[in-house]
Structure 1
């Protein structure tokens, strides 16, 4: 039996048979994997509660034919427990889990940066370090950038001319100049563009003091940009906006 160890964040679970579950994980060194947790639904399970969505864990797994098997679990940070009484915040975290899975589509492809981004975002969400919506928007922008879809909030995304520019076009890759601007694009406030740049850079000194109207406008632009590059939106995102924004 070939064994290996890794850190992971639990993305989602699904039932398998009468007592088992298939656990979808974003690992630090092995990318996104699906593994079987045998007997995890029994009340006598040694690690059932440790394999819930949002949990950050240290795992030992056995290589299997189609799915690997989880043999040991040690909790690093039970982020889900910290948010279970704050439904809006937990729902927002669920959107991050879905985005992380969508942006790491190839199983077992290394995704260390995505893992570190998700772990840090969940820690911020669980500790209530910043506004939940701001954490989500920052995570989505940075996760898209790691996946190769980095938006431009300064130079024109088409011709590269220096900004600031007024128009935002998801299909073009961000802000575009007057010469490159097509019809029907968004014209966000300058403060919103500054906020988007801060969220992408993780500059919370700027993001935390942004006015709510600029936060709402930034959220809409982030959602549009995400939907364009994923070709369809996140299933959980509309629910998050109704509850948490």
Structure 2
């Protein structure tokens, strides 16, 4: 079996069978990849922490056909300060959802990876983050080739994203007002 290794940001995870999880990761080397994490739902699983959405982890997986199987996960960065406030968590999940919606599987894009990690780091800082996060979303759209029309405000960007995705965003609100107030 062929083995792979890359640093990646966990975009989402969902339960799969009794003890496993399907995890979607945006990696630096391979782009968006969906992997299966065997035994990760077990209480004493060592993989559990590295598979949380918004966590940057070092992934090792094997497989040539079907879903690759995660063999090892090492946590690199968790963005803990962003997880302490509603605005930070909402902003984190919004960025993860946008990257998941607009990126195809298996297409490497290091610029998107760097923008995503930088956006998550921004959410850990003090002060107003709202306008900075809107700018990060615009950079992300440009890096993906979806350059938004000039002069769009926050609501316009949200509508543009929903048009690209052909569905409404699942996160409560795009760039929630809590980001302006959280510290």
Offset from partner CA, 1:178-201 (integer Å, 9 cap, x none): xxxxxxxxxxxxxxxxxx7xxxxx
Note the C-alpha offset of 1:123: 1.0
Distance in 2 (CA, whole Å) between partners of 1:239 and 1:228 is: 14
Distance change >3 Å, CA 64–CA 100, structure 1 → 2: same
Q: Output aligned runs, 1:23-34, within 5 Å.
A: 23-34=23-34
Offset from partner CA, 1:78-122 (integer Å, 9 cap, x none): 12x332221221111100000001110x21111211111101110
Q: Output aligned runs, 1:45-124, within 5 Å.
A: 45-79=45-79, 81-104=80-103, 106-124=104-122
Gaps of 5+ in 1: 152-172, 176-195, 197-217
1:174 equivalent in alignment to 2:159 = no
1:139 counterpart residue number? 136
Larger radius of gyration: 1
Distance in 2 (CA, whole Å) between partners of 1:49 and 1:68 is: 19
Q: Normalising to structure 1: TM-score of the pair?
A: 0.67
Q: Output aligned runs, 1:205-220, within 5 Å.
A: 218-220=153-155
Distance change >3 Å, CA 130–CA 5, structure 1 → 2: farther
Instruction: Give the aligned length.
Output: 180
Gaps of 5+ in 2: none
Conserved 8 A contact 1:32-1:111 = no
Answer 1 or 2: higher relative contact order, Cα 8 Å, separation at least 6: 2
Conserved 8 A contact 1:23-1:35 = yes
Q: After TM superposition, which residue ranges in structure 1, 4 or more long, deviate above 6 angstroms? A: none
SS in structure 2 at match of 1:6: strand
Q: Normalising to structure 2: TM-score of the pair?
A: 0.88
SS in structure 2 at match of 1:141: helix
